[in-house]
Structures are given as structure tokens and as C-alpha cells.
Amino acid sequence: MEQNAKFIVIEGLEGAGKSSAIALVKELIEKHTGQAPVCTREPGGTPLAERIRDLVKIADSQDPLCDTAECLLFYAARAQLVETVIKPALAEGHWVLGDRHNLSSLAYQGGGRGLMPLVQSLSDITLNSFKPDITIYLDVPPQVGLQRAAARGELDRIEQQALAFFDRTRATFLALAAEDDSIMVIDASQPMSEVHKDIQASLRAVLA
């Protein structure tokens, strides 16, 4: 088992290209450690957290989710995932590769919804300074990302928000990345082959 297992997270707006980035990083980790990482997604990644995922993704016109409840649900799902999957995996020496984590709540609920004080309090209480070793933030203008997501099929509850919501979310992702050395920003509006080259370069040190 790897003594110094790492927690690596891929972040970005909808359509940023997280799925193919995850496939690439998974392969790189496998080559480096000789073992597949434990892959998680947020919200989700445990049976209970997957049920919460449905609550936040599917719109209910009879009982629309208010912003505070949305925020609490993301943290309930995250607490369950961190305590029952991520921390135990790291403790056993398994690398963990996450499709989104806390940075999404800071950006979407903190920046997009304007709930930063609540998000910061919940983050402190539930995570207590636990954070990824490396976060790769795939930066894409919302128009580009949403077009890609729409080309794939129907948009979910959050994807149907106004463009200004995604502009605020992106601005928060970038502002938080600027003040945290563990967050690497990749220009995800480039062709996929270039995005992948940049991801490999940004992980060179950690996978050396």
C-alpha cells in the first residue's frame, strides 16, 4: 500500500470536461501507484449521498428547494462521503480521485447563491480543515460549458440557472484558486488534447 496516499479533485463548471479529465488522471494515478484510485463524485458516492444527489439535481415544481436547504444537502452528502469513504480509503493507503468536492460549494453556493458566510461555517464544521492535496480546476466560460452540456441532453435543475449565476460561480472559483497553491487552473476552452497536456504537466510534481 502507498504510505502517502493523496486526495486529488477535479472541479469545473458544467461541460468543463471533468469526465475525460477524470479518466486521464485515473490512468496516471494507476501508472504511478500500480493501483486504481478510489473514485468518488459529489454530490453522491455513497448510497445515502446518491439519494441526496437526486434531491438537488431534480427540480420539484411543487416544492422548490430553497438556497439554504440546497446548501445543507450538499454538506450532508459530503459529510457522509468524507467520513465513510474518503478518509477510510486514505487511511488504508488508497489514493482518492474526486469528481467535485468542497470548492464546488464555495463557488456555487458561496459565490453563485451569495451564501458565503453559511458555506464557510458549514465547511469549517463538517470538514474541520480536511482538504484535497491537489485540485485541478478546469476553467471554461459558462456559455461554452453550458452549450457543451446542452448538446449532451436535457439540462438539470442547477444547469437551468441564469448565466449570471454561473458568472458569479466562475469568478469565485478563480478568486479562490488565486489564493490557494493547491488549486491548479487549466484553460478548459482549449481542444481536449491541449487540456490533457496541461493536466499532465500540473500533476508532474505530485506523480514524480
**17 near ligand T5A (CB under 6 A):** yes
According to DSSP, residue 95 is labeled: -
Q: Which is nearer to ligand T5A, 127 or 158 (CB)?
A: 158
* One residue of 5, 6, 9, 18 binding ligand T5A per CB under 6 A: 18
Interhelix angle 67-81/47-57, rounded to 10 degrees, is 160
CA distance 202 to 186: 9
Q: Which is nearer to ligand T5A, 35 or 190 (CB)?
A: 190
Residue 131: all three cell numbers together: 482538504
CB neighbour class for 208 (10 Å; exposed up to 12, middle 13-18, buried from 19): exposed
Give the count of residues interacting with ligand T5A (CB under 6 A): 26
Instruction: Give the CA count within 13 Å in the CB-facing half-sphere of 56.
Output: 24
Stretch that binds ligand T5A, among 28-36, 123-131, 148-156, 176-184 (CB under 6 A): 148-156
Q: For residues 56-75, which are near ligand T5A according to CB under 6 A?
A: 74
Least distance in angstroms from the C-beta of 151 to ligand T5A: 6
Least distance in angstroms from the C-beta of 101 to ligand T5A: 7
**188 near ligand T5A (CB under 6 A):** yes
The 85-124 site mask, x for binding ligand T5A (CB under 6 A), equals ---------------x---xx--xx---------------
Is the bond leading into 43 cis (omega within 30 degrees of zero)?
yes
**12 near ligand T5A (CB under 6 A):** yes
Instruction: Give the CA count within 13 Å in the CB-facing half-sphere of 65.
Output: 21
The 34-53 site mask, x for binding ligand T5A (CB under 6 A), equals -------xxx----------
**Backbone phi and psi for residue 10, each to the nearest 5 degrees, phi listed first:** -105, 130
**143 near ligand T5A (CB under 6 A):** no
**By the criterion CB under 6 A, which residues form the site for ligand T5A?**
12, 14-20, 41-43, 74, 100, 104-105, 108-109, 148-149, 152, 158-159, 188, 191-192, 195
